[in-house]
Amino acid sequence: MSWTLEEVKKHNTRESCWVIIKNKVYDVTSFLNDHPGGAAIILKYAGRDATAAYEPIHPADALDKNLPASAHLGPVNTDAASTLDAAVRNRRKTKDEIRIEEAHKYKPALSHVLSLRDMEDVAKKVLPHKAYAYYSSSTEDTISKNENAHAFTRFFFHARVMRPVSQCDPSTTILGFKSSIPVFVSGAAMAKLAHPDGELNITRGCAAQGIIQMVSSNASYSYAEIAHAATPTQPLFFQLYKHKDDATALQRIREVESLGYKALFLTVDAVVPSKREFDIRAPWYLEELERGGPLEFVEEQADALQGQSFGTAGGLIVNDDRDMTWERTIPWMRSVTKLPIVLKGIQCVEDALLAAKAGVDGILISNHGGRQLDYSLPPIEVLYRLRKHHPEVFGKMEIYIDGGITRGSDVLKAVCLGATAVGLGRPYLYAQGAYGVGGVKRITHILETEIVTAMRLMGASSIQDLTPELVERVDWQVDLKARL
């Protein structure tokens, strides 16, 4: 059976809510209350085409996973399809889309991007505002995000000289898998917001440069599509947001196992959505931009105290497990999978010790890029404290950090302190959004060049030469008081 637009339009209420996605009709009435992003965003498109809003955020298999077969109502008819196609062709471009087209015309040649900060500068100009707001935003006053990067400036090298470094090998292994440099792509959601090929750009760029990609549970391509984009020998890790229902969580684990993913990074620092104000404000900014000025004040009909916005993706974790424990969750995961288990989001020495006691294969010291708890310590500082007070832990599991890394020298500071590797999330989202696969390859090449150069200047010819003695933490303060 096929449907007319008029028939679909009748189903535009909470009691009967249909939407059109890619010329197919779906009854999402029963799903409204279960939608991670809330019912309001679906009701906004009730009875009409939701494709433009749906596609940049959801993987291709989301409808099959979340809706029963009875809710797949079939295609629109030929006339309806023609009308929808014409509407897309004739749609007036938004001011943000016009800005993006102009910015892409005049962005620098890729060879002129010399650093990760250069790449972010380009991305800020060429990415859709919604994408940049989501990627760059952090929680509340952005203290942790800013300090993640600033903290690296407190660590200085004790460079050694008169050591042979003509042959310098920056390669390492992560959970037994070869990596050309001690860097991996940390899990980050919704790459398709910035580029139609999204996570696939990262997969292909990682393959070309020999590094490992961690795929987010909330990727905008399906886990299968990403796995199929990888080369036959390319390892992929999976960032697991554990669902509160064990059966649902197990289903996700079984899926990625069957697709050949090599490790599970259980996210433990995002049990509730945080308040990322730049991301939350993005749709209001776009409305005002399109209008050409501020929106007219309208008295609110409901109690404003009840209103809550999670931003672009905050709703994606509302169904995740808020009651994970050391005593139950890790043993449960060990009982259902043989894949290596890494805890992503360790933020203090005490939990690092508990992780070692629990027998996990690794920990990723991370405050979610400053996106969850503001004033969470910078990961490099937690790593330093762990190395200083409990060096024995480094022999029990692999330890990684992410957050704030902008230079190859930052990578080496972490490795000297005992990190097996570091993860980067935002830089790869910016790179693939601005330049596609080429951007991913470019910033990996930049990091490798900076790493090798710094290793040679430090007197290190291999990763094994990078030891704690090569790094010192300092607390210099500039005296701004006038001297009389």
Bridge partners, residue 173, by sequence: 178
Question: Which of 195, 221, 261, 269 is labelled catalytic?
Answer: 269
Structure tokens given for 403: 């957050």
Q: Choosing from 241, 384, 430, 435, which is the catalytic residue? A: 241
CB under 8 Å to 112, separation ≥6 — which residues? 118
- Which amino acid, residue 37? G
| CA distance linking residue 400 with residue 116, whole number of Å | 20
Q: Cβ neighbours of residue 159 under 8 Å, at least 6 residues apart?
A: 457, 458, 459, 470
Select which of 223, 368, 410, 430 is catalytic. 368
Placement of tokens 């669902």 in the chain: 243
State CA 158 to chain mean position distance.
34
155 φ, ψ to 5°?
Answer: -115, 125
Distance in Å from the first CA to the final CA of the chain: 89
Asked whether 297 and 284 are in contact (CB, 8 A), the reply is: no
Q: Which residue carries 């008295």 as its tokens?
A: 299
Buried b (16+ CB within 10 A) or exposed e, 358-370: bebbbbbbbbbbb
**Distance between CA 201 and CA 191 in Å, rounded?**
9
User: Is residue 269 a contact partner of residue 367, using CB atoms and an 8 Å limit?
Assistant: yes
Look up 368 and say whether it is catalytic: yes
Residue 174's φ and ψ, nearest 5 degrees, are: -125, 115
Residue 136 contacts residue 289 (beta carbons within 8 Å):
no
- Assigned token pair, 17: 């809510």
Catalytic, 241? Answer yes
Can you tell me the distance from the alpha carbon of 415 to that of 417, in angstroms, rounded to the nearest whole number? Answer: 5
Task: Please return the burial class of 279, using the count of CB atoms within 10 Å of its CB with bins 0-12, 13-18 and 19+.
Answer: buried
Catalytic residue annotation = 241, 269, 368
